[in-house]
Amino acid sequence: MILSWQVLHRWLALIIGLQLLLWIVSGLALNLIPSSVFNTELHRKPIETSAISLVNPGQTKLASLSTLAAKLMDKHLVSIELTLLFDEPMYQVQLIDKGQLDGPHLAYYWAKDLNPVSLSLDNLSLLARNSYQANAENATSPASFAKPLLLPTEESGFQTQAPVYLVAVNDEAQTRIYLNGASGEVLAHKNSRSTIKQWLFMLHFMDYAPENGLTFNHLWIQIIALFSLLLGVSGTALVIKRLYQGHYSLKSPFSRWFGLSRQAASAQVIRVFDKQNTPLSRLSLESGALLTSLNHPKERIKTQCGGGGSCGLCMVRFMDTAPKPQEADIAKISRRKLEQGYRLSCQHDAADCQTLAPQQTEINIALTTRGQLNTWCD
């Protein structure tokens, strides 16, 4: 079970660590890079508004709202807004079909004759051109406009029921103009710089799925939150396991700092041999894991897992009686070697070694790998 927790903890730490790195890098980029670099309004012309006079109906020649209501008798009118399109007044009507459970939708009518607004591709192209203004960088080479392209609903990226058209501009910023195909409204200007900003926001908020919409608490946020909880649970399980095995001890650092005698903790010593059974060192048996004794007071056996039992680099051979193999021993060491006394020194504490031969004062251990021999020193 301990190896299962270690594998789970390792993969969770990798996933969350990568997302944390992306969060930090994207956050720094969004804060340190000037906002002008990501300007989406680089070539967007400011909107010029003009007032519509309602004081003199003869001058404006607007159809009355009662006439509009009579035209839409089979619908519930929610709101009516008067706007301009090509300098012509237009009614934007929010309505609900009677007897239908669908929500409100928008319809557009010319305010003079109440005919439905219908925009051609040429109309949309003209609206896109009218919303564009050149700057000093492309003043000498006029930009060219592509024909309006109808975008699929799932790819438009805008919260609207109307068709969305894209007009690509061949300029230095690769400007893209998005228009509402029903009302002619210019929804947005985007360019290659704003695309970078959009990617940074996607990485920062983990907004990897377009269907997330505008909500923050989307599926990926919930998944990472669950992974973070599991990371804490698996880490706690590993800490409890290592505490049980004696990996953490307050006495060990105090004895190193103040030179306290460890004879009271253990009267046994460890005799270390190489692969040919040649004596190398005599070490005191410290409390905690056997690996702690072998690496006291300096590191002699290097590991990758820090004593978690997953790398197998701390494997040694008990030359006399070996302790009972732990789950990590069985997972990392073959049955033949287990029978020969091979064990992971990080999985067995001083108490295990003392109970093997309580009457003996020495425990004989042999190193098993060339890497251990290369880094071993008194």
Is the torsion defined by CA of 326, 331, 335, 337 positive or negative?
negative
Q: 32-41, 42-51, 110-119, 261-270: which range is least confident on average?
A: 261-270
Distance CA(19)–CA(297), nearest Å, equals 37
Cα-based distances in Å from 185 to 213, 273, 309: 21, 83, 63
Share of the chain above pLDDT 70, in %: 85
pLDDT digits (tens, 9 = 90+) for 246-270: 556 555 454 444 444 444 344 578 9
In this structure, are residues 326 and 347 in contact, taking their beta carbons and an 8 Å threshold?
A: yes
Extents of the domains making up the chain: 2-37+205-237, 41-190, 252-375
Which CATH fold would you assign to the domain 252-375? Answer: Ubiquitin-like (UB roll) (3.10.20)
Q: Helix 2-32 to helix 192-204 angle, to the nearest 10 degrees?
A: 140
pLDDT winner (highest mean) among 60-69, 140-149, 162-171? 162-171
pLDDT at 205 over 90: no
Binned at pLDDT 50, 70 and 90, residue 52 comes out as: low
Indicate yes or no: pTM above 0.85.
Answer: no
Q: 69-73, 212-216, 365-369: which range is least confident on average?
A: 212-216
State the SS3 of the chain.
CHHHHHHHHHHHHHHHHHHHHHHHHHHHHHHHCCHHHHCCCCCECCCCCCCCCCCCHHHHCCCCHHHHHHHCCCEEEEEEEEEEECCEEEEEEEEEECCCCCCCEEEEEECCCCCECCCCHHHHHHHHHHCECCCCCCCCCCCEECCCEECCHHHHCCCCCCCEEEEEEECCCCCEEEEECCCCCEEEEECHHHHHHHHHHHHHCCCCCHHHCCCCCCHHHHHHHHHHHHHHHHHHHHHHHHHHCCCCCCHHHHHHHHCCCCCCCCCCEEEEECCCCCEEEEEECCCCEHHHHHCCCCCCCCCCCCCCCCCCCCEEEECCCCCCCCHHHHHHCCHHHHHCCEEEHHHCEHHHHHHHCCCCCEEEEEECCHHHHHHCCC
CA torsion 192-197-203-209 (nearest 10°) is -60
pLDDT digits (tens, 9 = 90+) for 193-204: 888 888 898 888
The set of long-range contacts for 16-24, using a CB threshold of 8 Å and a minimum separation of 24, is: 16/224, 16/227, 16/228, 16/231, 19/206, 19/224, 22/203, 22/204, 23/203, 23/204
